[in-house]
A and B are shown apart, each in its own frame.
Chain A
Amino acid sequence: MLALVVDDSLSIRLLLTRLLQSRFFTVETASGGLAALERLRQRPAPDLMVLDWNMPDLGGLQVLSQARAMPGMENLCVMMATAETDLSQISAALEAGVDEYLMKPFDERSVDEKLELLGFQVAATA
């Protein structure tokens, strides 16, 4: 399984890479929305995109909107990982096509719960 982690924070990219690799994902990263869209135009397509909300070049919702319009990306699993806790914003994200919402700060268990909800097997390595 291939995951694309999109976050302007190096720390979060490292953390999610570590967590997802230990759950048998191959992980690629993008440090911004524009880089993520560029990656999504290439193949193979990821099975999962973990997407930050608040990025300096292009926000997560804009990335999602443009990604969903790409051929073959209609069914891409998208998990929004963000510190945004406002319920109206969460609703907007879900309406925009986010499949799951991961609130920062998150831990291994909350990542596993979201992956399971998305249908991924999450047996972690040590």
Chain B
Amino acid sequence: MNVTAANLEETVRAVFRGAVRLEAAPVEEETEAQSWKPWITASVTFNNPWHCRIQIELSLDLAAQLAAALVRSPGPVADPELWQDAAGELANMMAGNLRPFIPNTLRYSVPRVVMGSGNAGRRVFGPSLDKTFLLAGHPMRVIVTDEGALDIAGIGPFSPN
């Protein structure tokens, strides 16, 4: 069982369609992060038997839009705390829905959210799937990283069967 690009794309589409009623369209060309700073990074970590991280990066504009859609607000949401919470919850939904593709996982963390420009939340170590999607015209980057610290059995999320 591996996490493939198709698994990731299918999961992103399903989560965002279900949670915020938006179509997530994959884009082939990397979108320059510089063009959509400042951003929010939300991540969830699987801890057994290796370390695997699901991370989403999105602009504040998109986070505000997603927060309003997630809570079914009739108007804009102006609360940055809610933007962060919504980003974390969407990362949490991604993790839960990707879990069937990640073998032998016992549990995953609660979301960790970092807000601001710079590289605070952007650490990526190890092999990763990295895909950018467009939602309502805004880019969102999704990264699944095999951090592999405990990958002694060679059964990480991208390992061959």
Contacts and interface: CB of A to CB of B under 8 A. Distances in A.
Interface in B82-113: 82, 85-86, 88-89, 92-97, 99-100, 105, 107-108, 110
Interface string A4-31: 0000111110110011000000000000
Contact of B18 (A14, A56, A82, A107): A107
B67 interface: yes
A84 B86 CA distance: 17
6 contacts: A11-B82, A15-B70, A54-B107, A83-B93, A84-B96, A105-B20
B18 A83 contact: no
Contacts of A11: 67, 70-71, 82, 85-86, 89
Contacts of A15: 70-72
Interface in B1-36: 14-15, 17-20
Contacts, number: 60
Interface residues of A, number: 21
B110 A83 contact: no
Given A18-B72, A105-B19, A106-B18, A12 B99 contact: no
A104 interface: yes
B61 interface: no
A85 interface: yes
B82 A10 contact: yes
A104 B82 contact: no
B95 A83 contact: yes
A55 B92 CA distance: 11
Interface of A: 8-12, 14-15, 18-19, 54-56, 82-86, 104-107
A105 B71 contact: no
Given A83-B92, A85-B99, A107-B18, A54 B108 contact: yes
Contacts of A56: 110
B81 interface: yes
B42 to A, nearest CB: 11
Contacts of A18: 71-72
Contacts of B70: 11, 15
A104 B95 CA distance: 11
Contacts of B72: 15, 18-19
Contacts of A106: 18
A14 B81 CA distance: 13
A14 B85 CA distance: 11
Contact of A9 (B15, B85, B107): B85
